[in-house]
Every structure is written in C-alpha cells, then in structure tokens.
C-alpha cells in the first residue's frame, strides 16, 4: 500500500481545516501541508452555514457570567477584526479567481412579541457589551421597517442595529479557500481519515479509508462533528465526546416585498439559534436555522423543526416570505462538545492538535482559529491565548446542576410560548417548567455523575440510547 509523508496533516476540509491549511501555507511556503477530505464534504456544517459574522449579536445574558463564554466572546471579537484582511489575503493568493468575496455589513436584531424574559435579557446584554467595547449600535423603532411585515400580534417589540456586524456567502468563501489552498501548494487528498496512527504515545500520522498511510510531524483534527469517531480512538477519558448539532436552512428567491437589506435576526435564545435571514444578493435570501443536538449524526432535519422554522419566519419576520420560491435547502452537522465550548490547541498526545467543537459560530471564528493553530504548528512552545479550550480539559461547567435544569425548563417554556402556547388564567407555566426540571435531573442521573450541561445537551442525553449513555458516563467517571 502507498505511503506518503507530510509535515502537517489536517483532517477535515470545512472552513476550519481549509483556513488552517491556507494560513500555515501562507506563513511557511516550504511546509508540506496535506488536507484530507472528500470534495462533496459529507455532513459539513460550513457549507450549510448562514455565515453571519456576528459577535455582539451573539451575546446573551450568560456571556459575562463565566471566563469560558468571555473567552469565546474575545475570540469572536478577534475574528471580526481579522475578516477584511483575511479576504484580501485570499483574493491575493487566488489572483481574483474566483471573484473576491465581499462582506455585507449591517445586522438588525429584532425581539419578537412572543419572546420570553430570555430574549429581553439577551437584548440588554448586547447593548451592554456594545457600550462596554465601544461598538456602534442604534436603537431602532421596530414599527417603522418596510421590509418586515409580520403577522398580526407577532410584531417585534424591540430592535437594534449593529452596523459592523456582517455576513458573507459561505459557499463563496469555501470556493475561495479551496482555490487559495490549491494555489499555495497544499496537497489535497480526496479521502477520509479512518484512524490515527499512534506510535508509542505519539500521534505520527493517519490511515486513510483507502488503506494508505500518511506519516506526519503534526496531525490537526478539524473534521467537524465527525471528529467524534477519531476521539473515540484516544485513551479513554482524554477528550470529551463530540455531538452533532443538526441544522437546516433554506435558500429562497423573493417574489414579493423588498426583502431584507442586511442580516435580520432574533437574539440567541436559550438552547437554540433563533431565526436569521441573510440576503445573498439578487433577491436570494438564506433563511436559517434549526438546531437539534444528537450524540450521533442524523440523516436529515426533523420535519417538525422545519415547520417551526418556516412558520416562524412568515409569522415573525415577513408574511410575504410565504410567496418566495424555494431554490434549495442546506443541512449540516455543527460540531458540538459535551460542554459546548471549542476544542482548540494541543491534544492529549504529542503530535496531535484540535480545531473543532465550534458549534454555532465556527465560520465567523475561522480566521482567528487558523491564526492560533498556525502559531502552534510553526512556533513550537507557544500556546494559544485560549488555553481554557485545551482539548484535554475537564468539561467546563458554567452553572450548577440545578441552574442547568432551570435553563432546560426555560427553553421548553420559551419554545412553547413561541409556538403559541396559551394557558387559562388560573394556570401559569410553572407546572410545565417543573416537569421539564424533573426531566433534566433524570438525564443527569442517567449519566451517574452530577454535571451541569447546556439545555440542548440535556435534550440529547434524554434521547440517547443506553449504550451511548454508558459511554458518556464512562468518560465522565474517568
């Protein structure tokens, strides 16, 4: 069987793998970089992304409550600064072919009439964060916007505009990254890594599905949600499990109404990613996204969630979207860790690096992550400033188990209210919240180790089969 060698092997050809390959090749043209991944990118989150370059609009009331979300917010701010120069460097590397990708600036965050306290707290947190960091924003009268025509009773009640928050066309960026990687001499291997090669205690390469071996001084795992399979080959308990955050979005063409002039989105809500409409030019709009987390990859999105996504857009944003023509739909698996924070930097074995677990904002963060991974690969000894996200860490807990159960209950009530739940005057939502709190505690008990998990991860635990729960429990015990 054939055998190749490289200085760096990068497993995964999504936004992260490609960006790391391009950044390292730009910095050291002599380095032999091999990038592994099938051309059609099965399961990739990157091709499905709305690619909002949002950082302030992603802030929630919990961002400032713990060092880990604060570090993630810092990473997002760093990425926001890097994007314009990053696109210039890609255009330079590809000599303008494909055409340079443009950043579309402007993001309007709207809070719907049915949003519960969680949405209101996120709106306040966005304003506070923008003020603290000198980020310009304007309060907007939600009643004076001709591009929004919600159903009666669904009118947004609050809106704010962030002029610097932006979006790119994810498919265009991937094409530019592909072209840049080829132009810079990155070796493309159209296959999948089947296993890691471990010699003694050091990762010395990978074996491809074809059976071919590639020996390398460094292996970077950037295979998105599918990194889960490679993590399972590492010593038990050394890296936390990876889950699949299934996400679906539609691409439509406007038939009636002016369409969205810039990104229009709801704030990030507990457990979900809210609604976001991203204009892609020529009347084409990206409408996303669903978010349901599972321990194992799923074939496609759940129909009930797709229904909620579409009715949400038509009811809360613009009734005229109901006449838009569907062009295609996107489906991808967000890489989500058990604690929902990224895995960045050196792995638990020498020779192994991680760049994954970015969940909902990895597209935006990709230039900053590429920069830090290139630092690690090219300047041995240096560490990333995001040491909190070291792959060998214990799962980060930002709350207590009781607070986690409370957030789970809050998510359930929020979804119910958004979906039109109305209770008689003598009943409030407390009995529903109490039942959900019980469910959350049952999920934690199934794992055997008290651990505070995010609401959507608790949901995944409650859906997981016994064998999966046993493996996660074994990880937590070790």
Ligand X SMILES: Cc1cc2nc3c(=O)[nH]c(=O)nc-3n(C[C@H](O)[C@H](O)[C@H](O)COP(=O)(O)OP(=O)(O)OC[C@H]3O[C@@H](n4cnc5c(N)ncnc54)[C@H](O)[C@@H]3O)c2cc1C
- Give the nearest distance from C-beta 206 to ligand X in angstroms: 8
Q: Could you say whether residue 142 binds ligand X (CB under 6 A)?
A: no
- Give the nearest distance from C-beta 242 to ligand X in angstroms: 10
Q: Which of residues 207-226 bind ligand X (CB under 6 A)?
A: 222-224, 226
179, 249, 377, 414: residue in contact with ligand X (rule CB under 6 A): 249
6, 8, 49, 293: residue in contact with ligand X (rule CB under 6 A): 49
Q: Could you say whether residue 364 binds ligand X (CB under 6 A)?
A: yes
22, 34, 48, 452: residue in contact with ligand X (rule CB under 6 A): 48
Q: Is 471 exposed, middle or buried (0-12, 13-18, 19+ CB in 10 A)?
A: middle
Q: Could you say whether residue 334 binds ligand X (CB under 6 A)?
A: yes
The Cα-based distances of 100 to 95, 179, 186 in angstroms read: 9, 11, 20
Task: Give yes or no for a contact between 20 and 370, defined as CB atoms under 8 angstroms apart.
Answer: yes
Give the containing element (helix H, strand E) for 19: helix 15-27
Q: Could you say whether residue 42 binds ligand X (CB under 6 A)?
A: yes
Query: Which residue's CB atom is positioned nearest to ligand X?
Result: 14
* Cβ neighbours, 10 Å, residue 135: 18
How many helices (H) and strands (E) the chain has is answered by 11, 18
Distance, CA of 473 to CA of 467 (rounded, Å): 10
Q: Could you say whether residue 91 binds ligand X (CB under 6 A)?
A: no
Query: Which distant-in-sequence residues (6+ apart) come within 8 Å of 88 by Cβ?
Result: 100
Coil/strand/helix, residue 80 = helix
Q: Could you say whether residue 358 binds ligand X (CB under 6 A)?
A: yes
Q: Could you say whether residue 340 binds ligand X (CB under 6 A)?
A: no
363, 386, 389, 475: residue in contact with ligand X (rule CB under 6 A): 363
Task: Give yes or no for a contact between 407 and 454, defined as CB atoms under 8 angstroms apart.
Answer: yes
- DSSP 8-state class, residue 100: P
335, 367, 395, 459: residue in contact with ligand X (rule CB under 6 A): 335
Stretch of 49-57, 343-351, 383-391, 402-410 contacting ligand X, by CB under 6 A: 49-57
362, 367, 395, 459: residue in contact with ligand X (rule CB under 6 A): 362
158, 192, 285, 456: residue in contact with ligand X (rule CB under 6 A): 192
Q: Could you say whether residue 275 binds ligand X (CB under 6 A)?
A: no
Scanning the structure block, which residue is given the tokens 């506070």?
A: 128
Q: Which of residues 288-307 bind ligand X (CB under 6 A)?
A: 288-289
Stretch of 13-21, 63-71, 122-130, 321-329 contacting ligand X, by CB under 6 A: 13-21
Largest CA distance in the chain: 73
Task: Give yes or no for a contact between 193 and 36, defined as CB atoms under 8 angstroms apart.
Answer: yes
Q: Which is nearer to ligand X, 36 or 218 (CB)?
A: 36
3-state DSSP of 277-297: EEEEECCEEEEECCCEEECCC
Task: Give yes or no for a contact between 114 and 308, defined as CB atoms under 8 angstroms apart.
Answer: no
Counting residues that bind ligand X (by CB under 6 A) gives: 42
Question: Site residues (CB under 6 A) for ligand X?
Answer: 11-17, 36-38, 41-46, 48-52, 192-193, 222-224, 226, 247, 249, 288-289, 332, 334-335, 356, 358-364
């Amino acid at each position: 069987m054939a055998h190749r060698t490289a200085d760096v092997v990068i497993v995964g050809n999504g936004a992260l793998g490609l960006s790391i390959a391009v950044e390292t090749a730009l910095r050291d043209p002599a380095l032999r970089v091999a990038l592994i991944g099938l051309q059609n990118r099965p399961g990739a989150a990157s091709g499905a992304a709305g690619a909002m370059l949002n950082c302030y609009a992603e802030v929630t009331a919990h961002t400032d409550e713990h060092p880990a979300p604060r570090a993630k917010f810092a990473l997002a701010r760093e990425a926001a600064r890097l994007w314009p120069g990053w696109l210039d460097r890609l255009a330079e590397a590809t000599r303008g072919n494909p055409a340079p990708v443009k950043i579309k600036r402007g993001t309007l965050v709207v809070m719907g009439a049915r949003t519960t306290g969680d949405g209101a707290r996120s709106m306040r947190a966005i304003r506070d964060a923008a003020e603290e960091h000198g980020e310009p924003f304007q309060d907007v009268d939600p009643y004076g916007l001709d591009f929004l025509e919600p159903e009666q009773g669904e009118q947004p009640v609050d809106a704010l505009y962030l002029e610097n928050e932006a979006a790119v066309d994810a498919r265009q960026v991937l094409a530019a990254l592909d072209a840049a990687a080829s132009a810079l001499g990155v070796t493309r291997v159209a296959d999948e890594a089947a296993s890691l090669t471990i010699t003694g205690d050091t990762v010395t390469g990978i074996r491809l599905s074809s059976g071919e071996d590639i020996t390398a001084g460094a292996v970077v795992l950037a295979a998105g949600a599918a990194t889960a399979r490679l993590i399972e080959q590492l010593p038990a308990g050394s890296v936390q499990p990876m889950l699949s955050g299934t996400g679906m979005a539609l691409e439509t063409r406007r038939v009636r109404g002016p369409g969205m002039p810039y990104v229009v989105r709801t704030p990030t809500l507990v457990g979900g990613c809210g609604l976001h409409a991203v204009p892609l030019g020529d009347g084409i709009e990206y409408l996303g996204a669903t978010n349901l987390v599972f321990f194992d990859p799923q074939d496609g999105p759940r129909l009930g969630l797709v229904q909620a996504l579409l009715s949400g857009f038509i009811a809360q944003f613009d009734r005229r979207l109901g006449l838009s023509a569907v062009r295609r739909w996107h489906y991808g698996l967000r890489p989500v860790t058990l604690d929902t924070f990224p895995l960045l930097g050196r792995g638990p074995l020498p020779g192994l690096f991680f760049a994954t677990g970015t969940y909902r904002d990895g597209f935006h963060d990709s230039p900053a992550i590429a920069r830090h991974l290139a630092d690690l690969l090219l300047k041995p000894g240096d560490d990333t400033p995001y040491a909190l996200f070291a792959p060998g860490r214990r799962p980060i807990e930002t709350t207590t188990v009781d607070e986690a159960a409370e957030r789970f209950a809050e998510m359930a009530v929020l979804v119910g209210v958004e979906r039109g739940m109305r209770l008689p005057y003598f009943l409030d939502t407390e009995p529903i919240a109490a039942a959900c709190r019980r469910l959350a505690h049952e999920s934690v008990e199934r794992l055997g180790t008290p651990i505070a998990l995010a609401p959507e991860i608790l949901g995944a635990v409650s859906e997981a089969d016994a064998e999966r729960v046993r493996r996660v429990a074994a990880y937590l015990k070790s």
